[in-house]
Amino acid sequence: MSTPKTVKKQGTLKRVLGYVKAYPFALIGSLIFALISVVATLFVPVLFGDAVDCIVGKGRVDFDGLKEIFAKVAITVLVASLAQWLTSICNNYISCNVVRDLRRDAFEKIGKLPLKYIDTHGHGDTVSRVVADADQFSDGLLLGFTQFFTGVLTILGTIAFMLITNWKIGLVVVLLTPLSLFVARFVSTHTHKFFVEQTKSRGAQTAFMEEAVSGLKTMQAFAHEEENERKFNELNERLEKASLNATFYSSLTNPSTRLINNLVYAVVALIGGFDVAKGAFTVGGLTKFLSYANQYTKPFNEISGVITELKGAFVCAERIFELIDEQEETPDSDNMELVGVQGNVVLDGVDFSYTKERKLIENLSLRVSAGQRVAIVGRTGAGKTTLINLLMRFYDADGGAITIENQDIQTVTRKSLRKNFGMVLQDTWLKSGTVRENIKMGNPNATDEEMLVASKATHAHGFIKRMEKGYDTVLGEHGELSEGQKQLLCITRVMLALPPMLILDEATSSIDTRTEKKIGDAFARLMQGRTTFIVAHRLSTIVHADTILVMENGRVVEQGKHAELLQKGGAYAKLYNGQFA
C-alpha cells in the first residue's frame, strides 16, 4: 500500500504529464529528434572501430578506407548536432509553455480564492509560488527533457549494440548496472526532505522580504532596522543550511555512480583484452566496445543528476499545485442577478466568526431603509469592518441572513452585488496606468466631461492639472502622490460610478480638515438618496447620520441619532466625550 507521500508524488507527476500532453507535436518531435541524435552518436564508435582496424601495422594502412570512414563520421556528427539542436528547441517550447500554463492557472486561482486565504497566508509566499517556484520547476523540467530522454535512449541503444557485438561482455555490463541504479535511487530518495525544507525556507524569506519592502517607511519610523536585519539573517541562515544539505546530499549521487561506472569500464577492458589476446576480438572491436561501455555508463551519471534536479522541481510543482488546489469561494448559486436596487438592507440574526474558537458577531439584526446614512462606530476589534466584509460577501455569514430588496445576498452573484456598492477605504489602491484610467475604473463608459465634474466635486481637479500631463499622467502602483491625493482619486472614482449604495470606511482619514470640510459637501450630494454605511473613528464626521450603530464585541449595543445617544450617556457618549472632552 502506498504511503501518503508516495501518492502525492505520483499525483504531482501525473498532473505535470497532463500539462505536457497539451503539446503532443513538440513532445513527439523531441522524442524523434532525440532518437536520431542517439542513433547518430552511437554510430560514431562503429566508424572509429572500423578506422582502427584499417591501421593493421607499420606500412599497412588503408588510407582510402580511412578517408571514406572520416567522411561518414563528419556527416554523422553533423546529423547528431542538428538533431540535438532541434531537440533543444522542442524541449524549450514544452518547458516554457508548461510553466506559462501553470502560472496562468495559479493566477486565475488567486482571483477565485476567498479573502480568508489572502488574510491567512503571507503575500510573499504566494508570490514565491507563482514566480520563484515556477522558475525552478521550469529549469528542472527542461533539464529532465533534455537529458532524461536522451540518456534512456542512449542506455537502450548501447545495450543493443553491445549484446549484438559480444553478448557475453554485454551481459556482464547489464548485470552490474543495477548497482549504479540502486545507489542513485538511495541518494535521491533521501534528499527529498532537504529540497522540501529548502523550498519552504525560500518561500518564508520571500514573504519576509515583501513585508519588509512594502513596510519600509514604518520600519524606519520605528527604528526597527536592526530587528528586521536580525530576522532576515535568521531566515537567510535557515535557507543556507537547507540549501547546503540539499546540495551536499544530492551531490553524492554523481561520484557514487561514477565509482560503479568505472568498475564496469574496467571489467569490460579486462575481459575484452583477454578476447583480443585469444584472437576472438579485433582491436577495433574492443575500441567500439570500450566506447559503448563509456557511453552506456555516462547517462547514469547524468540521469542521477537529473533525478536530483527533478526532486527539487517536483517539490516546487507540489507547492504550485497546493495553491491551485486551494478551496475556492463558494460558487454563485443559479447566477441570479441583483437588480432594481433601491438600498433596503436587512440583517436578520447574523452570526459570524473568523475562527470557531473566538466568537465575534452573534445574532446581529438590523434594518436599513433606502437612502439612510448609517454610521458604524466602536472600539478597535468591535466588528465594524467585519460587518462591511459581510455586506460585500468578502466573507459569508455563518448563520442568519442578509437581504437587499428582499433578496438573500447568498443567492445572487457576487459581481451583481458588488456593482451596487461603491467603496472608499482607508487603504487606497491605484493601478498602473493614467490618472484617467484610475478614475474611470468604476465606470469605463463615462465621458471626460462627467469625469471633470466628479474631479471638481472632490477637489481633485486642482492637483491633477498641476501634474506633468494632467489626466494622462501615468501612475505606478503607488504613484508619486501623497496619501491624501491618492484618497481623493479613490473618492473621485466612486463619485463617477454613482452606485445605489455606498461604503465609506474611514474615507477621509488621510485628508486634511480643510479639504475634508469641502469634500463633505460633495459627499452630501453623493449620499443623497443612496444608502450609505459609514465606518468612522472621527465622530465629528457622522453627527448628521440618520442612524448610528455602536458596536461592542460584534453586537450593536446602541442605536439612534447623535443627539439621542449623547443624552443616554452610554457607550456612544463615552466615545464622543473621549474625543472632544
CA gap 421, 477 in Å, rounded: 23
Comparing C-alpha atoms, which of 399, 409, 384, 397 is closest to residue 533?
A: 384
Cβ-based neighbours of 260, under 8 Å, separated by 6 or more: 176, 179, 180, 183, 297, 300
How high is the pLDDT of residue 3? 39
Assigned domain for 493 exists? yes
- Which residue in the block uniquely carries the three cell numbers 555512480? 257
Sign of CA dihedral 364, 505, 385, 330: positive
We report the CATH number of the domain holding residue 553 as: 3.40.50.300
Domain ends where: 324, 359, 394? 324
Regarding whether 297 and 241 lie in a shared domain, the answer is yes
| pLDDT tens-digit readout, 395-433 | 888 888 999 988 888 888 888 888 888 888 777 778 888
pLDDT of residue 78: 94
pLDDT of residue 362: 81
Domain contains 10: no
Helices (H), 353-413: 384-391
Q: What is the pLDDT along the chain (581 residues), one digit of tens a residue?
A: 333 444 454 577 788 888 888 888 988 898 899 889 888 888 888 777 777 777 765 556 777 777 888 888 899 899 999 998 998 898 888 888 888 998 899 898 888 888 788 777 777 778 888 888 888 888 877 777 777 778 788 888 888 877 777 777 778 777 777 676 677 667 767 777 787 788 788 878 887 887 787 777 777 777 788 888 888 888 888 888 888 888 787 777 767 777 777 777 777 777 777 777 776 667 777 777 777 777 776 776 677 667 767 777 888 888 888 888 888 777 776 668 888 888 888 988 888 888 777 778 888 888 888 888 888 888 877 778 888 888 888 888 888 899 998 888 888 888 888 888 888 877 777 888 888 988 898 788 888 899 998 888 888 888 888 888 888 888 865 457 777 788 888 888 888 888 888 888 876 666 677 766 766 666 777 777 788 888 877 776 777 788 888 888 777 788 888 888 888 888 888 887 776 65
| Within a domain: 255 | yes
Contacts of 209 by beta carbon, 8 Å cutoff, 6+ apart:
124, 232
- The answer to whether 141 and 130 have CB atoms below 8 angstroms apart is no
Domain containing residue 24: 16-324
- Domain end, chosen from 324, 358, 384, is at 324
Residue 335 located in a structural domain = no
Query: Do 282 and 403 sit in the same domain of this protein?
Result: no
**DSSP-assigned states of every residue in 161-203:** HHHHH-HHHHHHHHHHHHHHHHHHHHHHHHHHHHHHHHHHHHH
Sorted by sequence, the CB contacts under 8 Å of residue 371 that are 6+ apart come out as: 343, 528, 529, 530, 531
Q: How many CB atoms lie within 10 A of CB 223?
A: 8
Could you say which of 293, 324, 355 is where a domain stops?
324
Predicted pLDDT of residue 576: 77
Please provide residue 120's backbone torsions phi and psi, each rounded to the nearest 5 degrees: -110, 0
Give which of 187, 315, 299 is closest to 248, Cα–Cα: 187
d(C-alpha 374, C-alpha 547), whole Å: 5
* Rounded distance between C-alpha atoms, residue 330 and residue 327, angstroms: 9
Strand partners, 376: 535, 549
The three three-digit cell numbers of residue 249, written as one number: 546530499
* Sign of the four-CA dihedral 442, 444, 450, 451: positive
Residue 330 maps to a domain: no
Contact 395, 420 (CB under 8 A): no
pLDDT at position 291: 77
Type of residue found at 103: R
CA–CA separation, 378 and 219 (whole Å):
28
What is the bridge-based pairing of β-strands 407-408 and 555-560?
unpaired
Based on the fold, state whether residues 141 and 70 are members of the same structural domain: yes
Residue 131: how many CB atoms within 10 A of its CB? Answer: 13
**Are 318 and 351 in the same domain?**
no
User: Distance between CA 125 and CA 203 in Å, rounded?
Assistant: 5
Q: Are residues 367 and 273 in the same domain?
A: no
List, as one string, the DSSP characters of 527-580. Answer: HTTSEEEEE-SSGGGGTT-SEEEEEETTEEEEEE-HHHHHHHTSHHHHHHHHHH
Cα–Cα–Cα angle for 439, 488, 512, rounded to 5 degrees:
175
pTM tops 0.85, yes or no: no
Backbone angles phi, psi at 525, to 5 degrees: -70, -40
Query: Is 379 found in the same domain as 292?
Result: no
User: CA dihedral defined by 488, 490, 493, 495, rounded to 10 degrees?
Assistant: -60
Asked if 423 and 505 touch (Cβ cutoff 8 Å), the reply is yes
Cβ proximity of 482 and 428 under 8 Å: no
Q: Which pLDDT score is estimated for 240?
A: 87
Residue 6 lies in a domain: no
Same domain, 411 and 263: no
Same domain? 306 vs 378: no
Same domain (yes/no): 290, 384 = no
Please tell me the distance from the alpha carbon of residue 240 to that of residue 108, in angstroms, as a whole number: 33
The per-residue pLDDT for 7 is 40
Q: What is the CATH number of the domain that holds 306?
A: 1.20.1560.10
How many domains does the chain divide into? 2
Say if 384 falls within a structural domain.
yes
Indicate if the alpha-carbon torsion angle 563, 568, 570, 574 is positive or negative. Answer: positive
Q: Tell me: do 151 and 299 sit in the same domain.
A: yes
pLDDT computed for residue 227 by the predictor: 84
228 shares a domain with 271? yes
Same domain, 317 and 390: no
Does a structural domain hold residue 420? yes
